[in-house]
Amino acid sequence: MTSKELAKKIGVSQSTVSRALNDSPLISDDIKNYVREEAAKAGFVLNSQARSLKIHKTGTIGILFPVFFESLSKNLMFTYIYDLVQRELIKNNFDVMMVYDYGQPSEIGVLERILKSHKVDGFISLRPTLEERELTLICNNKYPFVSLYLAPEHNEIPNFFGVDEKDLGICAGRFFGKNSEPTASNVFLSITLRSDSSRKRLEGFHKGLEENGKHVDSFLECDFTMESAYNTVIAKKDLFLSKRNSLFVYNDMLSLGAIQALKTLGVAIPEETQIIGVDDIPMASWVYPKLSTVRIPVKEMVSEGCLTLMEMIDGKKFPPTVNLYDSILVLRDTTRNQNC
Amino acid sequence: MTSKELAKKIGVSQSTVSRALNDSPLISDDIKNYVREEAAKAGFVLNSQARSLKIHKTGTIGILFPVFFESLSKNLMFTYIYDLVQRELIKNNFDVMMVYDYGQPSEIGVLERILKSHKVDGFISLRPTLEERELTLICNNKYPFVSLYLAPEHNEIPNFFGVDEKDLGICAGRFFGKNSEPTASNVFLSITLRSDSSRKRLEGFHKGLEENGKHVDSFLECDFTMESAYNTVIAKKDLFLSKRNSLFVYNDMLSLGAIQALKTLGVAIPEETQIIGVDDIPMASWVYPKLSTVRIPVKEMVSEGCLTLMEMIDGKKFPPTVNLYDSILVLRDTTRNQNC
DNA sequence: TACACTTATGCATACGTATGCATAAGTTTG
DNA sequence: CAAACTTATGCATACGTATGCATAAGTGTA
């Protein structure tokens, strides 16, 4: 059924139907209510395509998801943030399109195609990497765009709401600086140092330790998966079996892998090895032992990022900004001295 | 830029541009290539709304996600399936719209609104519950619709690709029937028996045990979360501390909770308590101990379900069918006697 | 009563594309 | 060479909605 058909059926013009359903002040309340009731009775809903074509709005927002996972469940932080974002957008009556380029061959990228075909009103990105071409596209088109969580590497992205990487490391470094025995090794287990993010966390970790006269003793590299963290720890078992350690891990998922490994090795947590992760994924507080971690305030990031995006879609102009959020060390069961 | 503008710029008619970009056989290859090159050079993409309005196709498929989770990461099986579905659809050049009703107040449901406004070409549902109203809607409108994984409760849904619930229980029951000591208790830890799914798994579990002269000794109820499973096991610690048990758990996520609890209680796995879960989530094989589980062949379900949906969208008619898939018991480290 | 003014409704059009139809150009056939 | 085809292109229109403009109806004022 179309608005024209409905109009005919209930004895008004198509314009009136349109005005009633769009809550226009140009028609009387009586007619408005009448039309709305009849529309509801007939189960009528306006055609979204035709509407979008006219008003140049789709009511849909695209969420750019990282491409480097085998599965959504590989890094729960992204899944968690995705969920928060989605919830926030839906609450504000937007639909959500997942923009996830699995790398199928195509001349034009998914982002570019969706942007240029006007399938969405704007994008919110969880991707720590953006290609130069994509960035140019976004900036040139002045397309509503907001980036969350991890700063895209190598380029300055406008409207970023995310984490202060170095600060994360400092939080962990300070804790171990004050709360581990002088003889314990300070170890950083992380993804490759070619990543800005990893490098900055290491830098911060070092700084935090240094404030207390300590330093980073070892760096252990793994991939971005729990299994890889597990394997890396197992491979370095001598390190963990020979002495006490203070282990700062790039994130919680990798920490879970490390914990599995230490359990396998029979290393007591936190008595022999203390562990601090990053993120505070929901799971962190319901695994055993509960994970001590540097919590990233994603809820705030998400709500402010979404708000900004929606305002941009409404036509409001924003000077490009970078918003960094402070993190908080949350002490649970993988660290000792829980009252410092 | 519009196709009309591009046409003018490169000296052809708008029709020709349209035909070239839609690979129509009505124009010469020379012109077709010329137009395509120029379009690429200009970075032109057809407007999706206008296109959809004409051809009554959006190129987007909606994925209906269950509503009962606090977060996507609460039950990784759904997230895993969602990921598989998405990948399959994207591979076939569809975009994906997440249809996730967080329960914000609204006269009309999200599903109904999206369907009737023609925002998507069809739906693929991961929701084990469908409201009567939604079902009627789908059936009446003959809307391309496919349901995956868990059968919607209380109603016969056409085009279901999912699991044979009872068979899951049988797999676990038979194993414990043959491979646990006669004195061990056979326990089923599950969500409420008001759920069809839970009831059928219990039924199957019983049948499998019965074939070997055993029966279900206890039923433990918990909610649909890992924490709840943890808490339930802790609450019943006497059961697990006093004797050996064979524990069949509704799914892998709940199994993980149960394992955490048993570790806390100091119960040895699998020596004192054996555990079998359901699903085979990716994580099952990379936690410690690795989880024995009844694997649900989701990849097959997803690929066949998506294929059917896409064919329905192409206009092919299908007699409503129910496709049940057999599951396989995968033995890892939470069970003994691994060669049976 | 006549007039200006306000309010409510309908008419006509435009959004950007796909496509039936007409037509021009080119090709084959008798 | 003319007629009948074939092929390639453009013209005009329709998809379903939102909205500027014209207009009808209603209200208040002198």
Q: Which residues in chain A touch residue B110, judged by CB atoms under 8 angstroms apart?
A: 90
Q: Could A49 and B46 be called an inter-chain contact, meaning their C-beta atoms sit closer than 8 Å?
A: no
pLDDT of residue B134: 86
**Chain D footprint bases within 7 A of protein beta carbons:** 7-12, 14-20
Most B CBs within 10 A among A5, A72, A141, hence the mutation to make, goes to A72
Q: Does the C-beta of A18 come within 7 A of strand D? A: yes
pLDDT bracket for residue A245 (50, 70, 90) = very high
Whether residue A235 contacts residue A257, with contact meaning beta carbons closer than 8 Å, is answered with: no
Separation CA B92–CA B89 (nearest Å):
5
Crossing angle of helices B3-10 and B29-42, in 10° steps, is 110
Cβ neighbour number for residue B254 with a 10 Å cutoff: 29
pLDDT bracket for residue B71 (50, 70, 90) = low
Most B CBs within 10 A among A37, A44, A49, hence the mutation to make, goes to A49
pLDDT of residue B105: 57
pLDDT of residue A132: 83
Place of tokens 């007939």: A42
Å separating the CA of residue A71 from the C1' of nucleotide C12 = 53
What is the tens place of the pLDDT at every residue in B82-99? 999 999 999 999 999 999
Cβ neighbour number for residue A115 with a 10 Å cutoff: 22
Separation CA A3–CA A9 (nearest Å):
10
Helix-, strand-, coil-residue percentages of chain B, each rounded to 5: 45, 15, 40
CA dihedral A44, B108, B82, B141 (to 10 degrees): -30
- Whether the pLDDT of residue A338 is over 60: the answer is no
Determine the length of chain B: 340
3-state secondary structure of A23: coil
**Token pair in block for residue A268:** 């007591």
Q: Does the C-beta of A268 come within 7 A of strand D? A: no
Angle among Cα B308, A70, A80 to the nearest 5 degrees reads: 95
Q: What is the mean pLDDT of residues B111-140?
A: 90
Chain A residue with CA closest to B261: the answer is A288
Å separating the CA of residue A26 from the C1' of nucleotide D30 = 30
Place of tokens 């709305």: A36
**Token pair in block for residue B45:** 């993409």
What is the tens place of the pLDDT at every residue in B162-216? 999 999 999 999 999 999 998 999 999 999 999 999 999 999 999 999 999 999 9
Q: What is the mean pLDDT of residues A190-195?
A: 94
Give the percent of chain B with pLDDT over 90.
Answer: 76
Q: Who's near A253: CB < 8 A, 6+ residues apart?
A: A74, A75, A76, A77, A225, A226, A229, A279, A281
Instruction: Give one word for B29, left, alpha or beta, with left for phi > 0 and alpha for psi -120 to 50.
Output: alpha
What is the tens place of the pLDDT at every residue in A4-61? 999 999 999 999 999 999 999 999 999 999 999 999 999 999 999 999 999 999 999 9
What is the tens place of the pLDDT at every residue in B239-250? 999 999 999 999
pLDDT of residue A340: 45
pLDDT of residue B63: 95
Q: Could B97 and A97 be called an inter-chain contact, meaning their C-beta atoms sit closer than 8 Å?
A: yes
Does this model's pTM top 0.75? My answer is yes
What is the tens place of the pLDDT at every residue in B136-163? 888 877 789 999 999 887 667 778 999 9
Give buried/exposed letters for B266-282 (b at 16+ CB in 10 A, else e): ebebbebbbbbbbbbbb
Q: What is the mean pLDDT of residues A228-252?
A: 95
Whether residue B147 contacts residue B122, with contact meaning beta carbons closer than 8 Å, is answered with: no
Determine the length of chain A: 340
